[in-house]
Amino acid sequence: MKLTRESLLDGTFHAAVRSSLGPGARIISDAERAAQVGAILDRAPRRGRIWVFGFGSLIWNPAFRFVERRTARIHGFHRQFCLWARAGRGSPERPGLMLSLEPGGSCTGVAYRIASRAAPTELDIIWRREMFTMAYRPVWTTAYTAKGPEPAIAFSANRQHERYAPGLADAEVARLLATGSGPMGRCCDYLFDTVEHLRQLGIRDRRLEALEAKVRAYGAAGLE
């Protein structure tokens, strides 16, 4: 299963995820998605300036159309593996973890500017991807870039969601990343791809790099 613009629009990605989640999973409806996109646009700090901040796979597989891309830092949030993955890169038998934003500190990633007229369409695609199970909470924040600050939408953890996994020790996070696997592949590859693309941008995330070393050691010891 691959996450692409096409698979998001034609429903094949959602169908695969839904089958992994089971019949009781709470999934965002079309009406809820449209209402949330409309609401976030209504709250835009600067009309016509729509940026989206990527801290994980949005860095290396955005799947939406944008007109500008900049390295950016946001304040008040940090990157954290704190969402269960029991579909996608995990399964009920081999759960993994996904990144989200947690309060405190700062986070460096990539900000994408979406053309103003395309914002409803492109944000709809992003919502199909990020908000499918509503495990994230979209917020407006400020992305600080080399060309100045820009208003940006970021996706923080929904702390009321059943997927929220707070306070896990680094050793347990490493174990789950090393062993998690699902229809989208291994959870560890999500970590490895994120770290590698951050390095390519000249961004050092020491905690993610330490986790990468632990996960590779876990696999080298034959414990996956």
Q: What are the sequence ranges of the domains in the chain?
A: 5-220
* Tens digits of residue pLDDT in 146-178: 999 999 999 999 999 999 999 999 999 999 999
Q: How far apart are CA 147 and CA 165, in angstroms?
A: 36
- Annotated catalytic residue: which of 130, 196, 209, 224? 130
- Looking at 8-67, which runs of residues are DSSP E strands? 50-54
pLDDT at 224 over 60: no
pLDDT band at 2 (very low <50, low <70, confident <90, very high): confident
β pairing state of 148-157 and 136-145:
antiparallel
- The residue among 24 and 75 whose pLDDT is bigger is 75
In CATH terms, 5-220 corresponds, of 3.40.50.920, 3.30.2130.10, 3.40.30.10, 3.10.490.10, to: 3.10.490.10
Would residue 130 show up in a list of annotated catalytic residues for this protein? yes
Residue pLDDT, tens place only, 111-147 = 999 999 999 999 999 999 999 999 999 999 999 999 9
Residues 6 or more apart whose CB falls under 8 angstroms from that of 169 comprise: none
- pLDDT score of 149: 97
**pLDDT value at position 1?**
77
Residue in 151, 166, 81, 75 with CA at minimum distance from that of residue 111? 151
CA distances from 97 to 63, 71, 154, 182 (A): 21, 25, 19, 11
Question: Residue 202: pLDDT above 80?
Answer: yes
The span from the CA of 60 to the CA of 147, in Å, is 22
